[in-house]
Amino acid sequence: MREFFTGPLIKTELLVTWLEKHGIAATSEFVDPTETDPEDLSREVRVSVPDADFDRAHQLFFEERQDEL
């Protein structure tokens, strides 16, 4: 697994769902597992993807899409 993105829980949950929709088995883990407030949507989360899917995930998420214009 390779780290793909780190950000607040509210964004990373959506990212993991979106990656799974595109056939990429992403995982997430809290950066600081000692934080215990389940209602804190700003907690930092690290999203990882399989090494083999990293380039494809990067293209899907970070590169500009011409077909959406």
**36 inside domain:** no
**55 inside domain:** yes
**12 inside domain:** yes
pTM of the model: 0.84
Query: What is the band of 65 on the pLDDT scale with cuts at 50, 70, 90?
Result: low
| Overall average pLDDT of the 64-68 stretch | 63
| Overall average pLDDT of the 46-51 stretch | 98
**67 inside domain:** no
Q: Apex CA 27: angle with CA 40 and CA 65, to 5°? A: 95
Question: CA-to-CA distance for 25 and 48, rounded, in angstroms?
Answer: 9
**Domain range holding 15?**
2-31+42-62
Query: What is the band of 62 on the pLDDT scale with cuts at 50, 70, 90?
Result: confident
Whichever domain contains 47, its CATH number is 3.30.70.1530
Q: Do residues 52 and 25 touch, judged by C-beta distance below 8 A?
A: no
Overall domain count for the chain: 1
Question: CA-to-CA distance for 49 and 10, rounded, in angstroms?
Answer: 18
Structure confidence by residue, pLDDT tens digits, 15-43: 999 999 999 999 999 999 888 787 899 99
